[in-house]
Amino acid sequence: MNYLLLFPVLFPVIYGVVSLRFKNMDRRKRKLFFLPALCLNSTVVFVLAFLDLEPLDLAVFANHIRLSLFLDGPARLFSCMVAVLWIPATIYAFSYMEHEREHLSKDAGWVNSFFAFYIMTYGVTVGLAYSANPLTMYIFFEALSLVTFPLVIHIRDHKSIKAARKYLKYMLGGAAFGFISLICVLIAQEGEYFAFGGIIDVNAFPRNLLLFTFVCGFCGFGVKTALFPFGSWLISASVAVTPVTALLHAVAVVKGGAFVLIRLTYYGYGTDYLKGSWAHYVCLFLVCATILYGSTMAVRETHLKRRLAYSTMANLSYVLLGVCSMSGLGLCAALLHMVYHAFMKINSFFCVGVVMQREGRSFVDECNGIGKRLPWVMAFFTVSGLALTGIPPFIGFISKWTIASALVETANPAFYAAVGVFMYSAFCTAIYMLSLATRAWFPPKANTVVYLEARKPDFEMWGPLAFFTLVIIILSFTSTPLVNALMALAAG
Amino acid sequence: MNNKVSILISVFAPFLAAFVSYFAGKKHEKFRDIFVPAFTIFELGFIALTLNVALTDGENPVIANSLFVDVPFCMFGIRFRIDGFRFIYTELAVFMWAMCSLASKRYFLHHKNTNRYYFFWLVTLGATIGVFLSADLVTAFLFFEIMSFASYVFVAQEETKEALRAAETYLAIAVIGGLVALMGIFLIYSSLHMLDLNMIAWHADPVASLYSSIRIVTDGMRTKVYIGGALILVGFGAKAGVFPLHIWLPKAHPVAPAPASAVLSGMLTKAGVYGVIFVCCKIYAGLVPAGIVMMILAMITMVVGAVLALFSVDLKRTLACSSVSQIGFILTGISMVILTPKESLAMGGAFLHMVNHSLFKLVLFLCAGVVMQNLHKLNLNEIRGFGRKKPYLMVCFLMGAVGLGGIPGFSGYLSKTMIHEAIVEGVEHFGFLKAVEIIFLVSGGITVAYMTKLFVALFIEKNVSNEVYMRETDIDYITPAGRVAIGLPAVMILVFGILPHVFYDKLATAALPFFSRYVRELHHVHFFNLENLKGAGISLVVGAALYFGVVRTLLMKNENGVKVYVDRWPKKLDLEDAVYRPLLDLLSKVFGTIFMFLSDVLPRFVYNISNIFLSVLARVFGEGTDLITLALRKTLYKENPTEHRYIGTVETTKLGRAANAVERFLNRTVRKKHPKNVDHVVAYAEELELTRRKMHMLESSLSFGILMFCIGFCITMIYLLLR
């Protein structure tokens, strides 16, 4: 029965590889080809989330060194989140990529290969979620970097090639640092699978060495979450097509990094061991620096997608701030913000994608009065902007409040400083999200320039936006079950 | 109907109505124009009929939980409570909305985007009711934020350049204030783990908290609560217009539509005051340093607002600045509550002044709206004389003006007298209140002066151009609904003022429990005795002196034989332009530069430096190996050519000797002239040695191996093929 765990990991990958062979599908066939597979996979993920399965050992190399998949709380949450997001994102991409193809005058194979890699990434991400031990996680982590590389480079112009090279360098370099930590955990490992509270034998290595490897791991895997000195790949990678920047560089890949760090901290090294150590403060410092950096740069940036990319950088570090509080509440907060930010950010990115593609406006000051041209899209954007700022009752408020609670709970002056950073960042968020919204609705001067022969977004484009907005609003009103479930999870 | 349901209906009905008005208004504007005032009047009646229990039953507040009783809304759930204060203020809020809605139709006759305006108009109403009925901090904050964001639309409504700039300021102040308040709420929650206003008040009270069975409050926790309170004060104070965060008021009110200005000034500031009262009267009660700080802020707010109003030459700007000043009066009352927490006078005075100020600003801003809708101008020089031969407008405006000025017989006098009385009584405990009293009376005087300025300009002076007197033939300058909207509150000002003990005593008594748990009875005041009339008299004298001494001389000048009002306020003396915006720019620049340096310049620098360093290192190592080899060759492994002798085999020796013999023979015969002298024995030996070495090198090389392998392979293949 537990072999079912393999299905949502392997099926999309195989499906993607196979679909690379079909180069000449048109838009309708493409839809018929990919959508059912996606729905099937997501259904399986949902069903699995409700089952209670034994861990699955794929291969055992030595006593501790094995490849295994399992399902626990965070795995269920992360995989379900991915499963919810992937379908609307793909639907959006159908319309977006078709338009992009016409714009760049590419052939159908170009679009099809995009979807092939897109669906492969799905499988790898689910694999990352299901990973039961550090080795498996590491393998999927690397695979995630590699499988998204073709998506970053997909436009194949000068800029995207440059960005993709940078992407690869950062990812592989980061993974190398993560490898140090991996080896250490592998050697010091006591249990076979991740367990809440840590699995390493703390006496296997000198304390400082272990802490050093933790910092290496935090920075190395943190490259994926755009931790401060290593985050510039995320900004460069925003040249990729919007479905990639929205789903992968705001959710799947970067959240994968955050997920790995949650695993490493709470399920690998264990918070009891790390709490209060110098490594803890180093990580906290890096995270705070990232938040300051991301928020400030987002305010200064005027390119729409890069602005959101900076915002993603800051928000990922909110998740890590929850991780850094190293308490049960912190874990709950981190997971909560991971999920909530996913919805808010993917929605903002998709809205911006519509503005950029359908109206041809890529900078903030070009967006004057866009609300009158795309009222619904900008309404959705405004909702996610308000939510991202943390205006109650929207979901951003809930997750931010939880993170701040987790920080204050530690009763440590350093963490009060972190709360201050948090507030500064919230203010910046208000500026960079709402300034765009106010420009859109209340243009400073009438903008009569028509940038493109604008085409109204079709259902495939605004449908997913409406869906995400609806989810944001519903979660805003009834997030207690989710919060309680996460609290129970964080209690052990 | 039970009270819980009616509370929920009264809060959420406006939100629902907002959507109805928006979608109905898209097609049927006429329906919407009737629907909005009708709805607000319905709401007014509904609350009055269903929730009036609050006035009689102030001791047992009815608590209504949120709509989702079992599914808490947005993490904490929302909770409402109704008591005397909340009931009166909710009613007053809905009353203001109703009156303004009545006047709105005519005002928006030729305006764009009215549908959007009405949508946010009703949303703001619901949010304001939510703030006033909130029973806990998060509920208050939730509705406060909705109110801030929805009312942003009022300010930006006209979409002119000034409006958008003012809206930007408004939004910035709202966001900063909101975040700071949130921080304060968070701090209080994290120390006490409770959100309910009354519970917090109870636990913040050093005496009452001793009887708490829920939580033992330590000094550390109380300090945290005090700090949290200060932060909430900043957040709500920003909305109330307390100095130095008052900057949005004088900018936002003139550009907003007049009905919106009326509620912005009359109600939204009071929602801010609601939070200020909570912090000051419930957390800081009896905390003298806090009282002194608040009193200083109150004084500055009062004076700055009044002086700005005196200098202003714009009708609505004057009124807006006057709002700042009046908030200062209210804050004075509140500060007195902190200093003397068991005296009812300051509480009653502060509360009644809130009510009064709402009514005055309702009347005055709607009058300004009448001016605006006819002339589309607000500058005093351009609108002067508009009110001549319009007795109805004049009487109403006069009511508001004299009320605001604190003339005995009108309601403003009552509240000012109560605050004044409270200050006078406080002098025996705190000597500095003597100075406060003087500032208070002088500010009252400035109020009289600027209201006189407005009144004279609008209703007495004549205008040079006749444009002002011309009427559009088809429309009256004011609609009947507009007359009601302005007249009703004007009458209230008069009636309340004449019969203080009939209305205001009861209102103030009902509101007292909100201010303090200890005070139930209102201290009786003889409003019309000589002592109290003297205070008003001083203000009047100061006002007259200021009007004739400053306004008519310094603030006016002769231009072509006509006296015109001039704006003598230095342009550079603007807190926002001189301090806040440059500060923000500076911050952004500093942060930006630091981060650009850290993220861009520094890594590049480090990269370059390390590049240079590493390349030098590599060069050193690379070249160094060669150098070392060379050095070794020259020294340790130096080859010694003299000692080297080639030893041949027997064959080479024989061959060599034979060759030597041949050579000797040749030397003697053929090459007599050029003989060759080579020792062939040695030469052959050397040749052999070299050949051996070469063969050895060849045999030990990979290529040779592969070659041999290939040859062997080929042979094998050939053998296999041929077999």
Q: How far is CA A368 from CA A363, A436, A442, B159, B277, in A?
A: 10, 8, 7, 12, 40
**Helix H segments across A131-206?**
134-152, 158-188
A451's tokens = 């940038």
* Domain end position, chosen among B586, B614, B638: B638
Residues of A in contact with B159 (CB under 8 A): 442-443
- Do the beta carbons of residue A119 and residue A38 sit within 8 Å? yes
Backbone angles phi, psi at A325, to 5 degrees: -70, -15
Domain contains B643: no
Which of A344-353, A431-440, B154-163 is the most confident on average? A344-353
Backbone angles phi, psi at B532, to 5 degrees: -75, -35
Q: Do A300 and B141 touch (CB under 8 A)?
A: no
Domain contains B239: yes
**Helix H segments across B473-580?**
480-498, 504-515, 530-546, 575
Which of A228, A391, A393 shows the shortest C-beta gap to B73? A393
- Beta-carbon contacts of B380 under 8 Å, excluding residues fewer than 6 positions away, are B313, B314, B315, B453, B454, B457, B458, B565
Q: Do A427 and B179 touch (CB under 8 A)?
A: yes
Q: How far apart are CA A37 and CA B256, in angstroms?
A: 55
Q: How far apart are CA B412 and CA B357, in angstroms?
A: 8
Mutate one of A302, A310, A337, A391 to test the B interface: name it (highest B CB count within 10 A).
Answer: A391
Residues of A in contact with B171 (CB under 8 A): 434, 438
Domain contains B534: yes
Average pLDDT over every residue of A96-109 = 87
For A372, name the nearest residue in chain B, comparing CA atoms only.
B113
DSSP one-letter string for A35-83? HHHHHHHHHHHHHHHHS----EEEEESSSS-EEEE---HHHHHHHHHHH
Q: Say if residue B311 is in the same domain as residue B260.
A: yes
Pairs from B669-678 (Cβ < 8 Å, separation ≥ 24): none
pLDDT of A460 = 85
Q: Do A443 and B159 touch (CB under 8 A)?
A: yes
Indicate if the pLDDT at residue A273 is higher than 60: yes
pLDDT of B63 = 47
- Count of beta carbons in the 10 Å neighbourhood of residue A488: 12
Q: Do B175 and A427 touch (CB under 8 A)?
A: yes
* Domain end position, chosen among B617, B638, B659: B638
For A482, name the nearest residue in chain B, comparing CA atoms only.
B75
Indicate if the pLDDT at residue A14 is higher than 60: yes
The distance of A306 to chain B (nearest Cα, Å) reads 15
Instruction: Identify the contact set of chain B against chain A, taking CB-CB distances under 8 A.
Output: 68, 71-75, 138, 141-142, 145, 149, 152, 156, 159, 161, 164, 167-168, 171, 175-176, 178-180, 182-183, 186-187, 189-190, 588, 591-592, 595, 598-599, 603
Backbone angles phi, psi at A67, to 5 degrees: -100, 120
* Number of domains chain B is built from: 3
pLDDT of B72 = 58
Enter the DSSP assignment of B83: -
Quick one: A263 exposed, middle or buried, by C-beta within 10 A (0-12, 13-18, 19+)? buried
Domain contains B294: yes
DSSP one-letter string for B248-264? HHHHHHHHS-HHHHHHI
Q: How far apart are CA A121 and CA B121, in angstroms?
A: 47
Q: Which residues of B304-324 are buried (b: 16+ CB within 10 A; e: fewer)?
A: bbbbbbbbbbbbbbbbbbbbb
Q: How far is CA B219 from CA A156, B289, B696, in A?
A: 64, 17, 94
Indicate if the pLDDT at residue A345 is higher than 90: yes
Q: Say if residue B674 is in the same domain as residue B564.
A: no
Q: How far apart are CA B172 and CA A431, in angstroms?
A: 8
Q: Say if residue B542 is in the same domain as residue B686.
A: no
- Count of beta carbons in the 10 Å neighbourhood of residue B664: 13
Average pLDDT over every residue of A433-456 = 74
The distance of A286 to chain B (nearest Cα, Å) reads 13
DSSP one-letter string for B298-346? HHHHHHHHHHHHHH--BHHHHHHHHHHHHHHHHHHHHHHHHHSTT-HHH
Does the beta carbon of A417 lie under 8 angstroms from any beta carbon of chain B? no
Q: How far apart are CA A26 and CA A113, in angstroms?
A: 12
pLDDT of B59 = 52
Task: Specify which residues A402 forms β-bridges with.
Answer: none
Q: Say if residue B618 is in the same domain as residue B687.
A: no
Domain contains B479: yes
Residues of B in contact with A444 (CB under 8 A): 161, 164
Residue ranges of A 105-134 with Cβ closer than 8 A to chain B? none
B235's tokens = 């957040």
Q: How many CB pairs under 8 A join A and B?
A: 89
Percent of chain A with pLDDT over 90: 42
Q: Say if residue B425 is in the same domain as residue B492.
A: yes
Q: Say if residue B169 is in the same domain as residue B210.
A: yes
Q: Do B186 and A408 touch (CB under 8 A)?
A: yes
Q: How far apart are CA B507 and CA B352, in angstroms?
A: 8
Backbone angles phi, psi at B91, to 5 degrees: -60, -45
Residue with tokens 């009545």: B102
Average of per-residue pLDDT values in chain A:
88
Backbone angles phi, psi at A59, to 5 degrees: -155, 145
Between A63 and A223, name the one with better pLDDT.
A223
Domain contains B342: yes
Mutate one of B586, B595, B601 to test the A interface: name it (highest A CB count within 10 A).
Answer: B595
Q: What ipTM goes with this model?
A: 0.87
Residues of A in contact with B178 (CB under 8 A): 391
Mutate one of B182, B255, B586, B587 to test the A interface: name it (highest A CB count within 10 A).
Answer: B182
The distance of A24 to chain B (nearest Cα, Å) reads 44
Which segments in chain B show pLDDT lower than 70?
Answer: 1-2, 54, 56-75, 466-475, 639-645
Q: Which domain holds residue B516?
A: 3-569
Which of A155-159, A312-316, B203-207 is the most confident on average? A312-316
Q: Say if residue B495 is in the same domain as residue B587.
A: no
Q: Do A229 and B161 touch (CB under 8 A)?
A: no
Residue with tokens 């080639």: B646
Q: Say if residue B615 is in the same domain as residue B512.
A: no
Q: How far is CA B111 from CA B123, B129, B163, B259, in A?
A: 20, 27, 15, 13
Indicate if the pLDDT at residue A308 is higher than 90: yes
Q: Which helix (H) or strand (E) holds B138?
A: helix B137-156
pTM for this predicted structure: 0.84
Q: How far apart are CA B261 and CA B96, in angstroms?
A: 11
Q: Say if residue B373 is in the same domain as residue B325.
A: yes
Upstream peptide bond of A413 is cis (omega within 30 degrees of 0): no
Mutate one of A227, A234, A401, A433 to test the B interface: name it (highest B CB count within 10 A).
Answer: A401
**Helix H segments across A105-133?**
108-130
- Do the beta carbons of residue B336 and residue B429 sit within 8 Å? no
Q: Say if residue B497 is in the same domain as residue B606.
A: no
pLDDT of B533 = 83
- Count of beta carbons in the 10 Å neighbourhood of residue B233: 27
For B597, name the nearest residue in chain A, comparing CA atoms only.
A293
Q: Do A427 and B171 touch (CB under 8 A)?
A: no
pLDDT of B65 = 42
First to last CA, chain A: 26
Does the beta carbon of A413 lie under 8 angstroms from any beta carbon of chain B? no
pLDDT band at A448 (very low <50, low <70, confident <90, very high): low
Domain contains B211: yes
Q: How far apart are CA A320 and CA B671, in angstroms?
A: 98
B77: left (phi over 0), alpha (psi -120 to 50) or beta: left
Mutate one of B143, B591, B596 to test the A interface: name it (highest A CB count within 10 A).
Answer: B591
Q: Where are the domains of chain A?
A: 1-274, 288-492
Domain contains B128: yes
Task: Specify which residues B82 forms β-bridges with.
Answer: B62
Q: Amino acid letter at A370?
A: I
